[in-house]
Amino acid sequence: NTPVRDRLRIAIQKSGRLAEPARALLASCGLSWRESRDRLFCYGESLPIDLLLVRDDDIPGLIADGVCDLGIVGRNVLLEQDGGRSGNGRPSVYREWRALGFGGCRLALAVPDSWDWQGPEQLAGKRIATSYPALLSRWLEEQGIAADVVLLSGSVEIAPRLGQAEAICDLVSSGATLTANQLKPVMTLLESEAVLAGPSTEFDPVRGELADLLLRRLDGALRIRH
């Protein structure tokens, strides 16, 4: 029984790679905000559309719990947490509404430069370090490979040198981080970019109308950009 809200609330990253481009995109849709002192909540001025500034990892959960209506987050984060949910037998509560064309990267499997890469079967019995256990486990399962998934929250690329794992599965954009750590990408598990995420169910009429208006403006803004 979520109380009826007559304003739309969008969660975006507070700081980090997606923070500025997300705000800029929403501003190009004609949204403006009154800055609050704690800089966690921005009250919408031009339209009743407010922003909540959070860690990107919190965004899917905020949508799932109905605290926020929409969110701008990497597809990698959305699908990883969705994978976690379906793993728990819970149905998917959010979905990707639009791909936004920034924050592009890929979730890749990388192995030491010295490996003579033959294919995924080479990973059998190996340890693979990652911050994306659900996406990696699903992929391994699809490949029919039994490997150990080593969960690390950061600095995944140094795991092979530390002897924590033989291979890694991490986000790659330029590839410079892999190269600096004597690793090479051998498989792409997911092509990612920032997306507008929303619930898989419909809004009530008031927020539904606001969401429709936002989507129309967003589609216009995305068309101009591409």
Q: Which residues bind Zn ion (CB under 5 A)?
A: 56-57
Residue 130 interacts, among ligand PRT, Zn ion, none and using kind-specific CB cut-offs from 5 to 8 Å, with none
For 151-189, letters b (16+ CB in 10 Å) and e give ebeeebbbbbeeeebbbbbbbbeeeebbeebebbbbbeb
Q: Counting contacts by CB under 6 A, is residue 74 touching ligand PRT?
A: yes
DSSP-based three-state secondary structure for 25: helix
Shorter beta-carbon distance to Zn ion: residue 156 or 210: 156
> Other CB atoms closer than 10 Å to residue 39's CB: what's the count?
10
The number of C-alpha atoms within 13 Å of 42 and in the hemisphere containing its C-beta is 23
Question: What strands, in cross-sheet order, belong to the sheet with 183-192?
Answer: 148-151, 127-130, 167-172, 105-112, 183-192
Residue 42 interacts, among ligand PRT, Zn ion, none and using kind-specific CB cut-offs from 5 to 8 Å, with none
Which of 7, 17, 95, 98 touches ligand PRT by CB under 6 A?
17
Which of 172, 189, 197, 218 touches ligand PRT by CB under 6 A?
172
Size of the site for ligand PRT (CB under 6 A): 21
Which of 30, 101, 177, 213 touches ligand PRT by CB under 6 A?
177
CA dist 202 → 82, 148, 190, 215 (Å): 19, 39, 28, 14
Rounded CA gap, 209 and 183, in Å?
49
Residue 173 interacts, among ligand PRT, Zn ion, none and using kind-specific CB cut-offs from 5 to 8 Å, with ligand PRT
Shorter beta-carbon distance to ligand PRT: residue 69 or 170: 170
Rounded CA gap, 76 and 209, in Å?
29
Minimum Å gap between C-beta 3 and ligand PRT is 27
Rounded CA gap, 127 and 148, in Å?
5
Binding segment toward ligand PRT, per CB under 6 A, in 63-71, 72-80, 85-93, 115-123: 72-80
**Residues 36-65 contacting ligand PRT, CB under 6 A:** 55-57
Rounded CA gap, 140 and 129, in Å?
13
Binding segment toward ligand PRT, per CB under 6 A, in 13-21, 32-40, 85-93, 118-126: 13-21
Contacts of residue 113, Cβ cutoff 8 Å, sequence gap at least 6: 182, 183, 184
Q: Which residue is nearest to ligand PRT (CB)?
A: 74
Which of 44, 60, 71, 103 touches ligand PRT by CB under 6 A?
103
Enumerate binding residues for ligand PRT (CB under 6 A): 13, 16-18, 55-57, 74, 76-77, 103, 105, 170-177, 192
